[in-house]
Amino acid sequence: MTARVATVAVVGCGVIGAGWAALCLAQGRDVRACDPAPGAERRLREHVDGAWTALTRLGLAEGASRDRLMFAASVAEAVEGADFVQESGPETADLKQGLIAEIDAHTSGSVPIASSSSGLMPSRLQEMAARHPERVLVGHPFHPAYLIPLVEVVPGSRTTASAVDTALAFYSSLGKRPILVRHEVPGHVTNRLQAALWQEAYSLVERGVATVADIDAAISSGPGLRWALLGPLANQHLSGGAGGLAHTLRHLGPPAQEWMDDLGRVHLTPALAARLVEGIDGELDGTDQSALVAERDDLLIDLIAAKRRRTALP
């Protein structure tokens, strides 16, 4: 049985790292954080305070307390005695090189080092840990990290099964919904799925098929509502009625193949980027963005809480 993670080191306290810190505190863990940027501790504590209302609504674990946050003066101090390290430094290999090397040098070889990286391959990150590369993997969350359940666990070529099992169990214990990415690919799984949708959305705008606002409405008022409850493949299965996915693929597979063959391939040129920005500016003209974010987060909390009360959803 995997031992419980009691103390978490959060290395890098930007938006993602601060989100991890807030979630771990809300789940009754001790958090030791560090970030060399000026004012990092103040911003971290403000972020935790800002997330606490949402985390309280979702339910605090026994022992949850913002007082369990300790801001360390160095990486070595932050990782001392940690059971799990969540590295959330800037998304550049050169900066992560120094961070991961220092974490590796000051932690026991049995302590997993998970990177929040959204794009760097775990096997590349393992090369940065000279002592124990076998405990390095990716643990990629989604913004806001303290709220969205998904986390992608991506082992590298040398990651041990023990490190993977510990990461999966730890994230699950935080209320996360971890998925195991079984082969390294750029962008992992979810960002690739998003990129596929963005590519066709950009293409439809470029071809004049639909406006930016129409595309957003097509998803948010259509399949996006179902996707928040079940994934695209489970929804396909349900659309087949009693025959399930087999029926759907048999009857809609051929036309769907034609649609997939006709999907656009675009290059994000400056002209296309400007057209997309103009479209989103028009869609949100007159909208208070802070109010938009607040309403989005309120509804996300309601949805996450409601899903937790259901038993049939996978």
d(CA 78, CA 60): 24
User: Which DSSP string do the residues of 177-235 spell out, in sequence order?
Assistant: EEEE--S--TTTTHHHHHHHHHHHHHHHHHTTSS-HHHHHHHHHTTHHHHHTTS-HHHH
Which stretches does DSSP call E strand in the chain? Answer: 7-11, 30-34, 69-71, 84-87, 113-115, 136-141, 150-155, 177-180
* Portion of the chain with pLDDT greater than 90, in percent: 96
> Which CATH number characterizes residue 35's domain?
3.40.50.720
pTM passes above 0.75 = yes
Number of domains in the chain: 2
Asked if 173 and 194 sit in the same domain, the reply is: no
DSSP three-state, residue 128: coil
Asked if 147 and 231 sit in the same domain, the reply is: no
Q: Which of 120, 149, 180 is the last residue of a domain?
A: 180
Q: In what order do the strands lie in the sheet with 177-180?
A: 69-71, 30-34, 7-11, 84-87, 113-115, 136-141, 150-155, 177-180
d(CA 171, CA 153): 9
Inter-residue contact 32 to 5 (CB < 8 Å): no
Asked if 240 and 297 sit in the same domain, the reply is: yes
Residues with Cβ < 8 Å from 2, sequence gap 6 or more? Answer: 165, 166, 169, 170
Average pLDDT taken over every residue of the chain: 95
Mean pLDDT of 151-177: 97
Tell me, yes or no, whether 314 lies in a domain.
no
Q: Which of 133, 153, 180 is the last residue of a domain?
A: 180
> Which CATH number characterizes residue 240's domain?
1.10.1040.10
Asked if 200 and 278 sit in the same domain, the reply is: yes
Asked if 47 and 161 sit in the same domain, the reply is: yes
d(CA 145, CA 199): 25
Range of the domain at 280: 190-308
Asked if 83 and 163 sit in the same domain, the reply is: yes
Asked if 168 and 263 sit in the same domain, the reply is: no
What is the per-residue pLDDT across 245-290, written as a single tens digit (0 to 9) for each? 999 999 999 999 999 999 999 999 999 999 999 999 999 999 999 9
Asked if 74 and 115 sit in the same domain, the reply is: yes
Q: Which of 180, 211, 229 is the last residue of a domain?
A: 180
d(CA 18, CA 21): 5
Q: Is the dihedral of CA 41, 122, 165, 194 positive or negative?
A: positive
What is the per-residue pLDDT across 43-90, written as a single tens digit (0 to 9) for each? 999 999 999 999 999 999 999 999 999 999 999 999 999 999 999 999
Asked if 171 and 215 sit in the same domain, the reply is: no
Tell me, yes or no, whether 217 lies in a domain.
yes
